[in-house]
Amino acid sequence: MFLVTGATGTVGRAVIDRLLAADLPVRAITRRPESADLPTGVEVVRADLGDPGSLPAALAGVRRVFLSTSGTEIPEHDANLATAAAAAGVERLVKLSSGRAGDAAATDPIPSWHRAGEAAVRASGVDWTMVRPMGFMSNALHWSYSIRESATVRAPFGQGRIAVIDPFDIAVVSAAALTEPGHAGKVYTLTGPRALSPGEQTEVLAEIIGRPLRFEEISPEAAEADLLRFGVDPEMASAIMALRAMALESFTSVVHPTVAEVTGRSPRTFQEWALENKGQFTAA
Ligand SMILES: NC(=O)c1ccc[n+]([C@@H]2O[C@H](COP(=O)([O-])OP(=O)(O)OC[C@H]3O[C@@H](n4cnc5c(N)ncnc54)[C@H](OP(=O)(O)O)[C@@H]3O)[C@@H](O)[C@H]2O)c1
C-alpha cells in the first residue's frame, strides 16, 4: 500500500494519478475527506499530520509514503510522519522538499524548515529520497484572476529568473522514487528546461491565450500586503517574500538535468503547462 500525504494538494494529487495509472493501491490522508474529491479507487483516510495519534491507523499496512507538508509546520509534521512511519514498518519515504534546501546561502525560513524536515526523515531509519523542486509552474495560477480581469500580471522581483518546473514532472520523479529500485539515499534537485522571469512567463501566457498581457513589477511591500489581504498569516507571508527575493540570485536559474536522468524524457516546458491550463486564464 502507498500512502500519499498532501493528497489534495498540487503535487500529492498528481502523485496519486501516477500511482493509479500504474494500477497500484493508494491510500490518501486528508483532514477533510468529505470535500477531498479524490479519484475512485483511492482509500481516503482522515488524519492530521499535527496529531500523531491519528497516524498509526493511516499507516497500517503501508510500505511506501509520499510525504508533502506545508508552511510553518513542515519540521513538526515531517517528524511526526517519519516517526510514525518507522514504527509502522514503512520501507521507503519520498519527501517533497524545496530546491533551495540545497542552497548553502539560503538561511530564510522555508528552506530551513525543509532542512529540518529532511533531517527528521533521515533520522527515522526508513529508506528515503529527497525531491527538491525549484518554483512550480503552477504558481502562475495566482495570476489568473488579474489576467482574466485586467489582462495584467503583477509580481515583485521582475529581474529574477527561476527554472520553473511542471508539478507533473515532480510527480513522475516522485512516483519513480516510490516504485523503482535505485532511488534510496538520493537527493533530486528538479527544474524545468528553462529559467524564466515573471515577464517572460507573461509573454508565454499571452501567446497561449491569444490576448496581449501587461507585466507590472510591484514592490515587495505591495506583494506582501497582497498576501496578508488574501489571509496568509504574517509569519508565512514574510517567509514567502524571503523565498521570492531569492529569485534574484543565480541559484534559482540553474537548469538541472535530473528529470531527464530519472525519467528518460525531457521536463515539460512552460508553454506545455500553459496550454494544458489555458482555461484557468480565459474562463469567465
Ligand atoms: N510552490 C512552489 O513553487 C514550491 C517549490 C518548491 C517546493 N515547494 C514545497 O511544496 C510543498 C507544497 O506542495 P503543494 O503545493 O503540492 O501542496 P499544497 O497544494 O499547498 O497542499 C497542501 C496539502 O497539505 C495538506 N495538509 C496541510 N496541513 C495538513 C495537516 N495538518 N494534516 C494533513 N494534511 C495537511 C492539505 O490537505 P487537506 O487540506 O486535504 O487536509 C493539502 O493536501 C511545500 O512543502 C512547499 O515548500 C513548493
CATH number at residue 186: 3.40.50.720
How many A from CA of 235 to the centre of ligand 1? 16
The burial class, CB within 10 Å (0-12 / 13-18 / 19+), for 182 is exposed
Is 233 a member of any domain? no
**Ligand 1 residue neighbourhood (C-beta within 6 Å):** 5-12, 29-32, 36, 48-50, 68-70, 74, 96, 98-99, 110, 133, 135-136, 139
Q: How far is CA 255 from the centre of its chain?
A: 17
How many A from CA of 52 to the centre of ligand 1? 18
Q: What are phi and psi of 128, to 5 degrees?
A: -135, 160
Residue 249 has pLDDT above 90, yes or no: no
The minimum-distance atom of ligand 1 relative to the CA of 6 is 43
Q: How many domains does the chain have?
A: 1
Q: What are phi and psi of 63, to 5 degrees?
A: -110, -30
The alpha carbons of the chain give a radius of gyration, in whole angstroms, of 19
CB 205 within 8 A of CB 226: no
How many A from CA of 60 to the centre of ligand 1? 23
How many A from CA of 10 to the centre of ligand 1? 7
Is 211 a member of any domain? no
Q: What is the pLDDT of residues 100-136, one digit of tens each?
A: 999 988 999 999 999 999 999 999 999 999 999 999 9
Contacts of 28 (CB under 8 A, 6+ apart): 3, 4, 5, 7, 8, 12, 16, 36, 38, 42, 43, 44, 45
How many A from CA of 70 to the centre of ligand 1? 4
Which of 70, 103, 113 has the most ligand 1 atoms within 8 A of CB, as the residue to mutate? 70
Averaged pLDDT score across all residues of the chain: 97
In the three-class reduction of DSSP (H, G, I as helix; E, B as strand; rest coil), residue 18 is classed as helix
The minimum-distance atom of ligand 1 relative to the CA of 8 is 43
Residue 283 has pLDDT above 80, yes or no: no
Give the C-alpha separation, 29 to 52, whole Å: 13
Q: What is the pLDDT of residues 205-220, one digit of tens each?
A: 999 999 999 999 999 9
* Residue whose C-alpha cell is 542552497: 103
CB 255 within 8 A of CB 193: yes
Which of 48, 67, 68, 168 has the most ligand 1 atoms within 8 A of CB, as the residue to mutate? 68
Is 156 a member of any domain? no
In the chain, what percentage of residues exceed pLDDT 70? 100
Alpha carbon separation from 205 to 226, 252, 253, 270 (Å, rounded): 22, 21, 20, 9
Q: How far apart are the first and last CA of the chain?
A: 41
Average pLDDT over residues 47-59: 98
Give the C-alpha separation, 99 to 102, whole Å: 6
Residue 248 has pLDDT above 90, yes or no: no
CB 11 within 8 A of CB 171: yes
> Nearest 5 degrees, angle CA 79-CA 85-CA 89?
150
CB 105 within 8 A of CB 249: yes
**Could you tell me the residue range of the domain that residue 122 belongs to?**
2-133+167-190+255-263
Is 279 a member of any domain? no
Average pLDDT over residues 218-230: 95
Is 119 a member of any domain? yes
Is 227 a member of any domain? no
Is 152 a member of any domain? no
Q: For ligand 1, atom 45, which residue shows the shortest CA distance?
A: 70
Q: What is the pLDDT of residues 9-39, one digit of tens each?
A: 999 999 999 999 999 999 999 999 999 999 9
CB 205 within 8 A of CB 140: yes
Is 59 a member of any domain? yes
